[in-house]
Chain A
């Protein structure tokens, strides 16, 4: 079945540091890939997405490139801020079977300190 594997957290960084959160996936067919962010006490917000191989999703300084050859969708940001502290979820969606179900990774907590 479909699955998403994320690096375990928490990840603790100093402000302005470079961020990478690894995400790999297994899926049948050609999934769409997503990164969602969850701030404390809130629901999930779509951060970025990519729908086909080699697409790059980007938003708020975050980027991720859909790599079919390595089945990866790593999240990167060149300079993190304290306000980026949150839990980040990698997810995939396929149109097979039951439709556009999202399969989530376990989430990676990011803590950014001054």
Chain B
């Protein structure tokens, strides 16, 4: 149980285009999903916390107009990188926390490798 999927797993796009990444909890409902960014050989950096039915909470330094997050249902959150540029190339990872969970455990998706040419 507790499987989180991401789609696509890899995407290559041209500079200036927008890219949407989906994060789904497959066998549980998640009121809260998190979006992270991971640079090569570095740790995960939390970008934003996404709550179902409300606006996402962004971490300091993360541009909310560039990284649009929508958590439309209890099993789906999307991250849209708008007007992507080469510096946005990174590994994007989502995680989900189950509804009514009394634990702190987050379940992670396999990640999406974004390359902006």
Q: What per-residue 1/0 map shows which CB atoms of A47-59 lie under 8 Å from chain B?
A: 0010100000000
Quick one: which of B32, B104, B108 contacts A43, CB cutoff 8 A? B108
| B4 proximity list for chain A (CB < 8 A) | 43
B49 in contact with A44 (CB, 8 Å):
no
Contact present for A105 and B108 (CB under 8 Å): no
Beta-carbon contact of A36 and B57 below 8 Å: no
Q: What 1/0 mask marks residues of chain B from 39 to 52 whose CB sits below 8 Å from any chain A CB?
A: 00111101001000
Report the contact-size class of chain A (Cβ under 8 Å from the partner). Answer: 20 to 34
User: Is A51 in contact with B104, judged by CB distance below 8 angstroms?
Assistant: yes
Residues of B within 8 A of A42 (CB): 110-111
Return the chain B residue nearest A94 by Cβ: B104
Which residues in window 12-58 of B have CB below 8 A to A? 32, 34, 41-44, 46, 49, 57
A95-107 interface mask toward B, CB cutoff 8 Å, 1 = contact, 0 = none?
1001111101111
Cβ-neighbour of B93 out of A44, A49, A101, A105 (below 8 A): A44
Interface of A is mostly: strand
Closest chain A CB from B56 CB (angstroms): 12
Asked, given contacts A43-B93, A44-B44, A44-B93, whether A102 binds B106 with beta carbons under 8 Å apart, the answer is: yes
Q: Are B44 and A49 in contact (CB under 8 A)?
A: no
Query: Which of A46, A95, A101 makes the CB contact (< 8 A) with B105?
Result: A46
Residues on A with C-beta less than 8 A from B34 are: 101-102
B97 contact from A32, A49, A100, A107, Cβ within 8 A: A100
Cα A95 to Cα B104 in complex, Å, equals: 8
Query: Which chain A residues border B97 with CB–CB below 8 Å?
Result: 100
Q: Which 9 A-B pairs have the closest CB atoms?
A: A43-B110, A93-B104, A44-B108, A32-B104, A43-B111, A106-B43, A104-B43, A43-B108, A100-B104
B→A interface (CB under 8 Å): 4, 6, 32, 34, 41-44, 46, 49, 57, 93, 95, 97, 103-111
